[in-house]
Amino acid sequence: MCRVVDLRQAVLAKNDVAAQVLRTELTARGTTVVNLLSSPGSGKTALLERELLLARERGVAVAALTADLATENDAVRLARSGVPVKQVLTDGLCHLEAAMLGRHLDGWLPEDTRLLFVENVGNLVCPAGYDLGESLRVVLASVTEGEDKPLKYPTAFGLAQLVVVTKTDIARAVEFDEAAFRANVEQVNPGVEVVLTSARAGEGLGVLLDRALAAGAGTGTHTPVMARQQHAHGAGHDHDHDHDHDHDHERDHDHDHDEDHERGHGHDHEHPHVHTAAQTR
């Protein structure tokens, strides 16, 4: 158990350093990174496509990088917006890491890019612990996923600087309880903004873009209580959790914690450690 904890601390500490370097480099060139996290099927690709189109219409230099375990389907969809898009295949890794992101940006990201949207692997568990050098961390959830989603994934929602609800055009059909969802978000992340959107109906379109631009300007970014607490405890705080880790994972950060349990794991692991942009400013 101690060896697993120590390995994870070392991996996260190394990622924190890489994330800060990447953030500094991108900020110096005027690029703001937006990290999008959600479960598979949340509708974040559909919403992102609309936001990219809007950014292009407004004359905002924007690009998108999307990560998946397999297929280039999301990149093909996003490329329809006409902006630079790159697909990253993680070969089974359930999240992006800062060094990995930096390698894929090198030589590809246009110099004049003002906003870079990173569509993380569809997963609300392991991506939550990895800072990508972002200035804005957004967690998305569709109305079909249940109002208790924030309570089931407190680290992902607790570290979000913006929460986006998608597919609101079918909210009534699935009996989505907006008040209950907002109350659950508030419980894990007091004060964070919750935005209602529908890529199909156009509700809330442009809000994500506006918040990303505001983050790039250094204004309007929420600082989660969880992030402040972690920052106060320091980077070396204790990760000793009560749940069990499989000890045959030689690279414990590589195993897939996808809520769909693609590898058959019947348990969720919450690892509440991350240094978000809010902590570094």
Per-residue pLDDT tens over the stretch 159-175: 999 999 999 999 999 99
The reported pLDDT for the residue numbered 219 is 87
271 pLDDT higher than 90: no
Confidence of residue 192 (pLDDT cuts 50, 70, 90): very high
The reported pLDDT for the residue numbered 254 is 40
Taking each helix axis as running N to C, give the angle between helix 44-58 and helix 207-216, from 0 to 180 degrees, rounded to the nearest 10: 70
The reported pLDDT for the residue numbered 233 is 63
Q: What's the whole-model pTM score?
A: 0.81
Q: What is the pLDDT of residues 225-258, one digit of tens each?
A: 999 887 676 544 343 333 333 433 333 444 433 3
Count of CB atoms within 10 A of residue 107's CB?
6
The mean per-residue pLDDT over the stretch 142-154 comes to 98
- Cα dihedral: 259, 261, 262, 265 (round 10): 140
Report helix, strand or coil for 89.
strand
The reported pLDDT for the residue numbered 266 is 36
Q: Which residue has the higher pLDDT, 170 or 93?
A: 170
Side-chain half-sphere exposure of 45, counting CA atoms within 13 A: 21
Is the Cα torsion angle 146, 203, 61, 25 positive or negative in sign?
negative
Percent of the chain whose predicted confidence (pLDDT) is above 90: 71
